[in-house]
Amino acid sequence: MKPVQIAGKVYDVGVNDWNIRDFHGYSTHMGTSYNAFLILDEKKVLIDTVKAEYADRLLDHISGLIDPKSIDYVISNHTEMDHSGALPRIMHRIGEDKPIFCSKMGHRNLSRHFSQNWNYKPVESGETLSLGAGTLQFIETRMLHWPDSMFTYLVEDKILFSSDAFGQHYAGQEKFDDVVGAAIMPHAKKYFANILMLYAPLILKLVDQVTRMNLEIDMICPDHGIIWRKDPGKIIDAYVQWSKQEGIEKQAVIVYDTMWKSTEKMAYAVAEGIAEVGALARPMKLRQWHRSDVMAEVLDAKAVIVGSPTLNNGLFPTVADFLTYMKGLKPKNKLGAAFGSYGWSGESPKVVYEELESMGFDMIESPLKVQYVPDKDAISACLDLGRKIGEAVS
């Protein structure tokens, strides 16, 4: 991928990671990109870098535009290694004494990541930096999604460099929202659900803060995925809606796994009961669906129904994994229910119920458990549970 001019003096010099399929537990079926941005003003600025193994490609892209040694400043919006890993190679090439602007927490974190004694310039939220014709403004976004996170705003061009916010794990030749079209939104939703959902209250505060600052935004440049140039308001509005976590009425997701199909038969019967009252249900078997794809459905669902067989007096491993993962993302405003099959002990439905309850879910019904293969009475009970769930989400 060659450098892409995104505004008069601004270029995306980042790289595509076409083949990555797992990003610390998040499935990246379409790969991802590590976006880095070069501003060629009187002062030449590099905003963020890339993973360490792509440092030479980043330098090649920069070299196609300028001599890397002519870079005056580096901005580090976020310390995570997919954006800072190339710093040692970059600083060695451009000059170890060049200033690195970052948040105060960024200074602390970068110092712990790298042993080099670089020329850090910690900035305050609202502080500005003149580049000549242009001006950068720094906006602290602590815990969105790391303590060091910040945005950088190019005032005259109305461009927001948003670090990990508003991004997607997507690698493609398409660099802009108006090129890729509406197909990018499911990737953006999945990204939000798995990385930013737990920070939803902070996102709502941040959007309010930006509104009060009267920042005009003509373009949003995240560190992953496409750039929002046609309609940046679309992704901002989506973040507000997703952050409210109101859920879609008449929609439930049934997350389950099964050993000998008994729990699966229960899941299908629950789904049928939900459908009977006019609501929608999506059964998702955990060994067929990656947990990060399930979370994209959880984001929109009004109810999350979890089923597990009992294995060794406890949860089936994939269900335990999913519950741990979901708990960390802190979904809000959800209804819940639990079910499962068992051979001789049957603890899992109760454990699932208690886990969902501990997450703040409003539980629709007591846990439903069935011994061995569901008979007609058991299927009838599952249908009844489904109907109650359908009525609750309608």
Minimum mean pLDDT range among 111-120, 140-149, 166-175, 375-384: 140-149
Q: Which of 61, 224, 257, 355 is catalytic?
A: 224
Q: Report the pLDDT averaged over residues 14-18.
A: 97
Q: Which of 82, 148, 157, 355 is catalytic?
A: 82
Last residue of one domain, picked from the residues 244, 276, 307:
244
Active site residue 26: no
Q: Which domain holds residue 336?
A: 252-393
Q: Which of 78, 107, 169, 290 is catalytic?
A: 78
Based on the domain organization, do 35 and 51 belong to the same domain?
yes
Based on the domain organization, do 76 and 189 belong to the same domain?
yes
CATH code at position 212: 3.60.15.10
State residue 146's pLDDT score: 81
Whole-angstrom Cα distance, residue 361 to residue 349?
Answer: 15
Mean pLDDT (the chain, rounded): 95
Based on the domain organization, do 18 and 151 belong to the same domain?
yes
Q: Which of 54, 191, 199, 256 is catalytic?
A: 191
Active site residue 92: no
Based on the domain organization, do 91 and 30 belong to the same domain?
yes
Based on the domain organization, do 295 and 207 belong to the same domain?
no
Q: Report the pLDDT averaged over residues 124-136.
A: 97
User: Does residue 301 register a pLDDT over 80?
Assistant: yes
User: Does residue 268 register a pLDDT over 90?
Assistant: yes
**pLDDT tens digits for range 58-107:** 999 999 999 999 999 999 999 999 999 999 999 999 999 999 999 999 99
Based on the domain organization, do 195 and 283 belong to the same domain?
no
Whether residue 39 contacts residue 10, with contact meaning beta carbons closer than 8 Å, is answered with yes
Based on the domain organization, do 188 and 275 belong to the same domain?
no
State residue 83's pLDDT score: 94
State residue 193's pLDDT score: 96
Based on the domain organization, do 96 and 219 belong to the same domain?
yes
Number of domains in the chain: 2
User: Going by C-beta distance under 8 Å and a sequence separation of 6 or more, which residues neighbour residue 229?
Assistant: 6, 176, 177, 178, 218, 219
Q: Report the pLDDT averaged over residues 313-341.
A: 97
* Proportion of the chain above pLDDT 90, given as a percent: 92
**Look-up of token digits 């019967």:** 269
Active site residue 29: no
Q: Which of 24, 97, 216, 377 is catalytic?
A: 24
User: Does residue 50 register a pLDDT over 90?
Assistant: yes
Last residue of one domain, picked from the residues 219, 244, 269:
244
State residue 206's pLDDT score: 86
CATH code at position 299: 3.40.50.360
Based on the domain organization, do 180 and 291 belong to the same domain?
no
State residue 249's pLDDT score: 83
**Look-up of token digits 């459908």:** 275
Active site residue 377: no
State the pLDDT confidence band at 2, using cuts at 50, 70 and 90: confident
Active site residue 145: yes
- Classify burial at 238, counting beta carbons within 10 Å of its beta carbon; exposed 0-12, middle 13-18, buried 19 or more: middle
Active site residue 24: yes
Based on the domain organization, do 71 and 162 belong to the same domain?
yes
State residue 29's pLDDT score: 94
Q: Which of 164, 177, 297, 355 is catalytic?
A: 164
Closest alpha carbon to 96 in 121, 117, 113, 78: 117
User: Does residue 1 register a pLDDT over 90?
Assistant: no
State the pLDDT confidence band at 207, using cuts at 50, 70 and 90: confident
Based on the domain organization, do 65 and 179 belong to the same domain?
yes
* Proportion of the chain above pLDDT 70, given as a percent: 100
Based on the domain organization, do 122 and 261 belong to the same domain?
no
Q: Report the pLDDT averaged over residues 145-169.
A: 95
Active site residue 157: no
Q: Report the pLDDT averaged over residues 316-336.
A: 97
**pLDDT tens digits for range 222-249:** 999 999 999 999 999 999 999 999 888 8
Q: Report the pLDDT averaged over residues 24-39.
A: 95
Q: Report the pLDDT averaged over residues 140-159.
A: 92
Active site residue 164: yes
Last residue of one domain, picked from the residues 223, 244, 265:
244
